[in-house]
Chains A and B, each alone.
Chain A
Amino acid sequence: MTGLRLSNIGKSYGETRVLANIDLDIAAGEFVAVLGPSGCGKTTLLRLIAGFDKPDEGTITLGDRQVAGGKVMVPPEARGIGIVFQSYALWPHMSVAENVGYALKVARLPRTERETRVARALDMVNLTPFATRRPADLSGGQRQRVALARCLAAGSDLVLLDEPLANLDVHLRAAMEEEFHRFHRESGATLVYITHDQSEAMALADRIAVMDKGRLLQCASPRDLYREPADATVAGFIGGGLVLPVDDLRPLGHGIATADLLGRRLRLRCHAGETARSLAMASTHPADIHIAAPDETGIPARVIARTYRGGSWSYELRPEADPTLKLPMSLPDTATPPEPGALLELAFRDLWAIPLADASRSHGAPPSSFPSPHLTEQFQCA
């Protein structure tokens, strides 16, 4: 079993800084997704872990062996990891069984053991009948499974998956997600799964590391990521989240705070160590906005537009207190939905106070330098 530790990784190509200060600790057997838009540096991160590139700063440790950093640079062939490439990278001149057994051949395992392990790996991905075929004769999903079997047979403790579903049809994806779960269960390997698709990451990973512009913004379980984003970027990225400015944030203890939002005093969830401040950011999701109950004092907002979505109506609203804001809302199917122009009273089912350092950064202020223990804790989770 091999865990993976990245400490303070930095990488530049010429003038372009592609990775900066990446700290990530992945436990043995964990399934971590690295999520971010294209160009965020996630592929560079994978290439550094695999050993195709050398980090400019920081160290990479596999298990208890340092493989990169300082004067150490273990080449990919000596790292003992498995990769499922986006293009699958199946050798076209070898049969399926030869592809799966190549690492074992390189390692000079005896023929009988090789054959047993290849047969077992092919059996696990249900490809036994295809052992003698060439990759060209297989479908996309089958090629994907050959790539998985290749990692299974090699017995890699750490497997990197580089957008493995990007080249597959939508209807195959659900089936392959199940395949990855099974692969994770049966191999017990540590999985690092690179993707730009958050629903994929949510469905598969124990934890998700969110990256943007070469930085690791947050690494947390899917639910924590959704409910307690560490900064405004994560909040806006995950689940179509909304980031709203609030005034006069006051923690009440036990992870609860109050703040002024659009002219109303509201309750928010917050970090245990949250501090009182006059300006803050709160995050919520469209699903958490609803029409206030008759006994509640809601936030007045006017309907700008509505669209029938089949089974529900989606609304665009403008709060009276701040006409520059637009709030989305979904209402159940009804014959008499509120008309555009109507004034509604809104309420929030859930609000989260975005922690300080990053909330201030998103206001354009320079990153604060004072220690914020809860943040460090969040970045180096597990």
Chain B
Amino acid sequence: MTLTLHSKGAPRAPLFRLSAETIVLALLALLILSVSVAPMLRLAQAALFDDGGLAVERLARLFARPQTTAAIWNTIQIALASTLVSLLVGTVFAVIVVQTDLPGKSALVFAFVLPLMIPPQVTAMAWIQAFSPSSPVLGALGLSMEAGTRHPLYSKAGIILLLGIYNAPLVYLAMQASLRRIPLDLAEAARAAGAGPVRVLLTVILPLARGGMVAAASLAFVSAIGNFGIQAMLGIPARVPTLITQIYQQINGLGPSALPNMAALSMVLTALTVAGVLLAARAGERNDTRVDLGSRALVLSPGRGGPVILALLWGYLVLSLLLPLSALLQSSLVPAYGLPLTAETVTLKNYAAALFRQVSLRDAFLTSLWLTLVTVGFLMLASVFLGYFLTWRRGPLVRLLHFGSEAAYTLPGITLGVAMILLFLRPLPGIGVSLYGTPWIILAAYVAGFLALALRPVLSGYAQIDRTLEEAAQVAGAGFLRRMRDVIWPLIAPTAIAAGVIVFMTAINEIQTSILLISSGTRTIGPMIIFLEEGGASTLAAAVGCLMIFGILLLMLLSVALSRFLPKGVLPWQF
């Protein structure tokens, strides 16, 4: 498909060729610039400028407020402390999985990574219910606290603990990749020099993996800053304000008039995120990068310590995963919160209500479903095309698009939400209609926020396609779209579908961007947990949470079944 445009005066030479490739690239650029880059610019503008120029006075007042300084301080404290927790748990886990020959590692990894896929608000609710004075599980174990005691998780320490545990799998994923890259002979040389397993670990393996550790810490830090679900579910009742909950509460309470100040707080959030990312990037540069000598790692046999380590690992998983989830499950099966689960009390009415009877829930679920499906379809297409350009047609524009998509993904979702409101509150030029209050603004936010999520696996898929396969098709006479359909798509499809599954799992329960963008007419299912919990409908909220987890588990198992068609490293939960 080649359109040749002739200029009026000289019909001989084509002025320029508008090829299908150029059109596709232009559409991608238009999309990414309008949903990722433009909102960010608008956010910065709204934060820093008022009608009269630089908003020095407004910003000075904002940052003089005690609640602002408290929010910033709390955010930094919580993010740093929870990063330490994640680092500890994730590193220990990674070392054990990569460096030992313990049995049942696949199951361990699956169980350890699973919480990462559960929406944070569901995790928070499960923990709240498990460790509350009227906990169904603690009660059954005879450990229940006295009624009326303050809930231990409604505190700064609670937030730190939960965020730390929630982000530990991120650390594990980064660390295991880094540990696997350490050449086996370095560890073997240390063994030959007489060092025992523990000494090898402490003096050779971990020092060599420090680059991975910094990267992991950065991931955990950035993720902790931007985790709305846990900060809101624990922090709001505990009255521990953080940046993210401040932004949510102010916009929720004050409406659009709070936007400029909240844009400024979003910028602080952004600055913290960028600082975390840059730190990791700098550490990465100084890292001693060695040639990967294959994926063999030194296997240290824990010997008689094996059963003890295994017991500790599974114990951790019981405490951090099974206990909260079983509390959630029990709550979802009783008619009223706090009732013990017995043969008489067991009921499915919460599930019936969640699935069929509650119109608002059903509508929210359907809205989420169609928004997610459209996002998934759209992003699979966009990421396959963008991946193509990024892999084989790199140029300044393509690089900018990549940066834009990565930025929109890395920044906390609430920042994206604020930016979206700011950009789309005003009526669109030409149409005269504002997208705010419609599902389309949520769709735009999903597309912006998850493009990088879809792009990453697709890029690793492209890296494994031989370029000449495309060139051979080109030589055979196939144009751009034809090659895409006949050659590229069949080769990239498994990866693109896996990317679609990952986006689906993330978007269907998305909370923090949606919670700012939803209106009475269009709600999504992610924030409903918070509304239900706030409204006292804990058992119904538990049922919705359980349904979310079932759905996620189903999709994870589906993707594992798909895994033999996938290049390595596409699925994070694939061992």
Mark A residues whose CB is within 8 Å of B. 50, 52, 71, 75-83, 85-87, 89-93, 102-103, 106-107, 150, 154
Contact partner, B486, options A75, A79, A87, A102, Cβ 8 Å: A102
Residues of A with C-beta under 8 A to B476? 77, 102-103, 106, 150, 154
Q: Is B13 an interface residue (CB 8 A)?
A: yes
Check if A76 sits within 8 Å of B466, measured CB to CB: no
Q: Is B185 an interface residue (CB 8 A)?
A: no
Give the docked Cα–Cα distance between A52 and B13 (Å). 22
List 5 additional A-B contacts (Cβ < 8 Å) besides A85-B468, A93-B490. A76-B474, A76-B475, A77-B476, A86-B468, A89-B472
What would 11 A/B residue contacts be, using CB atoms closer than 8 Å? A77-B477, A83-B475, A87-B466, A87-B468, A90-B469, A91-B490, A92-B469, A92-B491, A93-B490, A102-B476, A154-B476
Check if B472 sits within 8 Å of A85, measured CB to CB: yes
- For B491, the closest partner residue in chain A by CB is A93
Give the docked Cα–Cα distance between A52 and B468 (Å). 11
Residues of B with C-beta under 8 A to A71? 13
- In this complex, the interface size class of chain B, counting residues with CB under 8 Å from chain A, is 20 to 34
- For A99, the closest partner residue in chain B by CB is B472
Check if A76 sits within 8 Å of B471, measured CB to CB: yes
Check if A77 sits within 8 Å of B479, measured CB to CB: yes
Give the docked Cα–Cα distance between A71 and B469 (Å). 28
Contact partner, B471, options A79, A83, A103, A150, Cβ 8 Å: A83
Give the docked Cα–Cα distance between A107 and B476 (Å). 9
Cβ of B18 to closest chain A Cβ, rounded Å? 13
B window 472-496: CB within 8 A of A: 472-479, 482, 486-487, 490-491
- Report B143-186 CB contacts with A as 1/0, cut-off 8 Å: 00000000000000000000000000000000000000000000
Give the docked Cα–Cα distance between A160 and B2 (Å). 25
Cβ of B462 to closest chain A Cβ, rounded Å? 15
Give the docked Cα–Cα distance between A85 and B467 (Å). 11
Give the docked Cα–Cα distance between A50 and B482 (Å). 19
Check if A78 sits within 8 Å of B472, measured CB to CB: no
- For B467, the closest partner residue in chain A by CB is A89
Contact partner, A107, options B19, B472, B477, B490, Cβ 8 Å: B477
Nearest 5 CB-CB pairings of A with B: A103-B476, A89-B468, A89-B472, A93-B490, A85-B468
Cβ of B465 to closest chain A Cβ, rounded Å? 10
Give the docked Cα–Cα distance between A37 and B477 (Å). 31
With known contacts A71-B13, A102-B486, A91–B478 Cβ distance under 8 A: no
With known contacts A52-B471, A71-B13, A106-B482, A89–B477 Cβ distance under 8 A: no
Check if A77 sits within 8 Å of B475, measured CB to CB: yes
- For A91, A92, A154, the residue with the greatest tally of chain B CB atoms inside 10 Å of its CB is A91
Cβ of A56 to closest chain B Cβ, rounded Å? 17
Mark B residues whose CB is within 8 Å of A. 2, 13, 19, 466, 468-469, 471-479, 482, 486-487, 490-491
Residues of B with C-beta under 8 A to A102? 473, 476, 478, 486
Give the docked Cα–Cα distance between A93 and B485 (Å). 12
Residues of B with C-beta under 8 A to A79? 475
Cβ of B318 to closest chain A Cβ, rounded Å? 45
Contact partner, A85, options B471, B487, B490, Cβ 8 Å: B471
Residues of B with C-beta under 8 A to A90? 469, 472
Give the docked Cα–Cα distance between A92 and B482 (Å). 17
- For B13, B478, B479, B491, the residue with the greatest tally of chain A CB atoms inside 10 Å of its CB is B478
Give the docked Cα–Cα distance between A77 and B475 (Å). 5
- For A82, the closest partner residue in chain B by CB is B475
Cβ of B354 to closest chain A Cβ, rounded Å? 43
Give the docked Cα–Cα distance between A107 and B19 (Å). 18
Residues of A with C-beta under 8 A to B472? 83, 85, 89-91, 150
Residues of A with C-beta under 8 A to B2? 75
Give the docked Cα–Cα distance between A90 and B470 (Å). 10
- For A103, the closest partner residue in chain B by CB is B476
- For B466, the closest partner residue in chain A by CB is A87
Check if B473 sits within 8 Å of A91, measured CB to CB: yes
Cβ of B463 to closest chain A Cβ, rounded Å? 15
- For A85, the closest partner residue in chain B by CB is B468
- For B14, the closest partner residue in chain A by CB is A71
Residues of A with C-beta under 8 A to B19? 75
Give the docked Cα–Cα distance between A107 and B477 (Å). 7
Check if B471 sits within 8 Å of A89, measured CB to CB: yes
Give the docked Cα–Cα distance between A106 and B481 (Å). 12
Residues of B with C-beta under 8 A to A85? 468, 471-472
Give the docked Cα–Cα distance between A50 and B470 (Å). 13
- For B479, the closest partner residue in chain A by CB is A77
Cβ of B223 to closest chain A Cβ, rounded Å? 38
- For A76, the closest partner residue in chain B by CB is B474
- For B21, the closest partner residue in chain A by CB is A75
Contact partner, A89, options B466, B478, B479, B486, Cβ 8 Å: B466
Check if A91 sits within 8 Å of B469, measured CB to CB: yes
Residues of B with C-beta under 8 A to A52? 471, 474
Residues of B with C-beta under 8 A to A106? 476-478, 482
Cβ of B13 to closest chain A Cβ, rounded Å? 6
Check if A50 sits within 8 Å of B475, measured CB to CB: yes
Cβ of B303 to closest chain A Cβ, rounded Å? 44
Check if B469 sits within 8 Å of A77, measured CB to CB: no
- For B2, B476, B490, B491, the residue with the greatest tally of chain A CB atoms inside 10 Å of its CB is B476
Cβ of B202 to closest chain A Cβ, rounded Å? 45
With known contacts A91-B487, A93-B491, A102-B486, A75–B474 Cβ distance under 8 A: yes
Check if B469 sits within 8 Å of A89, measured CB to CB: yes
Check if B468 sits within 8 Å of A78, measured CB to CB: no
Give the docked Cα–Cα distance between A76 and B475 (Å). 5
Give the docked Cα–Cα distance between A90 and B468 (Å). 9
Give the docked Cα–Cα distance between A81 and B476 (Å). 8
Residues of B with C-beta under 8 A to A76? 471, 474-475
Check if A81 sits within 8 Å of B491, measured CB to CB: no
Cβ of A355 to closest chain B Cβ, rounded Å? 39
Give the docked Cα–Cα distance between A114 and B2 (Å). 25
Check if A80 sits within 8 Å of B477, measured CB to CB: yes
With known contacts A87-B466, A89-B466, A93-B490, A77–B478 Cβ distance under 8 A: yes
Give the docked Cα–Cα distance between A76 and B2 (Å). 13
- For B13, B479, B486, the residue with the greatest tally of chain A CB atoms inside 10 Å of its CB is B486
Residues of A with C-beta under 8 A to B473? 91, 102
